[in-house]
Amino acid sequence: MSNIVVILGPNNPESEIANKESQEAAERVGGIDLRFVDDSLLFDEIVEQSQGAVMILPKGRSDILTDLVSKLGTVKLVQTSSAGTDWIDKSALAEMGVDVANNGGANAVAVAEHSIALMFATNRKLDTQIASVKNGTWMKGIPGERDEFHTLVGKRIGIVGLGRIGSRVAKRLAGWECDIVYSDVIDHDPEYVAATGAKRVEFDELVSTCDIITLHVPLDRVTEHMMSDREFEMMKSTGILINCCRGPVVDENALIRALESKEIFAAGLDVTEIEPIEADNPLPNMDNVIVTPHVATRALESNLNAAQFTMDNAGRIVRGEDPEWVVAPI
């Protein structure tokens, strides 16, 4: 079997750093002929430079990916450096016998930490505290009555999706004296669940009883708009929604209605349905909303982990082994 692995992405200084990290990881794994192909080239040139590839790691364009795999005929795996694979046509690739794998939790810790940061920040209006000092208004620029500021002690935290990120959220909240529950369509190993300290409940119970709901699911046809009018009506009026997975998992118009009508108290979002967020979207300017620009993964450790994990999977493919972290074409 060929040992050629192709990273397909832009040719810029940032990519050069990432590619160097991948090359170092590939050398640690051994037996990988790692090649970098500029995705701004003409399609025929990309095909020519990718000949013999058994794995492709796309880091830029996705519009040519399916056609490229079809043209090459040697690819066994499309590997992402991200947790999400919703931007890849997994069904079309599956028909060609090609698997798609995510990053194996390379950024799980960073996203878990960011999720907890948003829980804390929305509970204490940390964004308005910081803005008030920067604006020179000290305490006077902080809106809200006393009963709108809370600690996390005793709060019921509902984790939707107890995978690599959700489980780390649970483990990290263990010392915050919270009541942690989760809902998932996957039946996890009992030991895995026990290590998180979370108790399983049905989705509707989670939505209706939790003080904070944090979403950690992939985006697919099942999870799209899983939080909409029905769910917001079920939530506590003091409830907070945290979303650090994918924007379309939440029906954004329904969320805006719920926030404006005070059906729920607040939201902390690292993702939105349209990114970058539209200028006329009211969410960033709401007092009870914190929006960050889809950077929950941004940590040096995430990048280094992704380089190593993706090359570990490349090594498995080159050796004729089954890859890990394969995502079903739902």
pLDDT (tens digit per residue) in 194-211:
999 999 999 999 999 999
Co-location of 58 and 84 in the same domain: yes
If one counts the domains in the chain, the total is: 2
Residue at 325 is within a domain? no
Determine, yes or no, domain membership for 211.
yes
329 inside domain: no
Q: Tell me the C-alpha distance between 157 and 315, whole Å.
A: 39
Specify the pLDDT at position 228: 98
Q: How far apart are CA 72 and CA 131, in angstroms?
A: 53
Would you state the torsion angle of the CA atoms of residues 261, 263, 267, 272, taken in this order, to the nearest 10 degrees? Answer: -70
The pLDDT, as a whole number, for residue 330 is 75
Residue 52 lies in a domain: yes
User: What is the pLDDT, as a whole number, of residue 110?
Assistant: 98
Domain span at residue 284 reads: 108-291
> Can you give the pLDDT at residue 63?
93
Count Cα neighbours of 145 within 13 Å in the Cβ-side half-sphere. 2
**What are the backbone dihedrals phi and psi of residue 161, each rounded to the nearest 5 degrees, phi first?**
100, 100
From 16, 27, 95, 275, the catalytic residue? 275
The one catalytic residue among 114, 246, 252, 316: 246
CB 116 within 8 A of CB 172: yes
| Claim to verify: residue 185 and residue 67 sit in the same structural domain | no
56 sits in which H/E element: strand 53-58
21 is catalytic: no
- Chain segment 23-82, per-residue pLDDT in tens: 999 999 999 999 999 999 999 999 999 999 999 999 988 899 999 999 999 999 999 999
Please give the single-letter amino acid code of residue 38.
Answer: D
pLDDT confidence of residue 61? 87
220 and 83 fall within a common domain: no
| Residues 246 and 125 reside in one and the same domain | yes
Q: Answer yes or no: is 309 within a domain.
A: yes
Distance CA 320, CA 307 (A): 20
pLDDT of amino acid 3: 97
- CATH of residue 14's domain is 3.40.50.720
**Domain assignment of residue 70, yes or no:** yes
Look at residue 244 and tell me if it is in a domain: yes
Clarify whether 275 is annotated catalytic: yes
Judgement on whether residues 32 and 125 belong to the same structural domain of the protein? no
**Residue 158 is assigned to a structural domain of this protein:** yes
281 & 146 share domain: yes
Q: Quote the pLDDT of residue 50.
A: 98
Please return the burial class of 4, using the count of CB atoms within 10 Å of its CB with bins 0-12, 13-18 and 19+.
Answer: buried
The verdict on 102 and 116 lying in the same domain is: no
Q: Are residues 257 and 151 in the same domain?
A: yes
Distance (Å, whole) CA 317 – CA 326: 12
Considering the domain architecture, whether residues 166 and 261 belong to the same structural domain is answered as: yes
- Indicate whether 216 and 250 sit together in one domain: yes
Catalytic-residue membership of 225: no
Which candidate in 124, 156, 200, 294 is catalytic? Answer: 294
Locate all alpha helices (DSSP H) within 138-228, ordered by sequence: 164-173, 190-196, 203-209
For residue 43, the number of C-alpha atoms closer than 13 Å in the C-beta half-sphere is 11
Q: Burial, 268: exposed, middle or buried (Cβ in 10 Å; 0-12, 13-18, 19+)?
A: buried
263 and 127 inside one domain: yes
The order of strands in the sheet holding 33-38 is 33-38, 4-9, 53-58, 77-79, 99-101
Give the residue ranges of the chain where pLDDT is below 50: none
Q: Are residues 192 and 305 in the same domain?
A: no
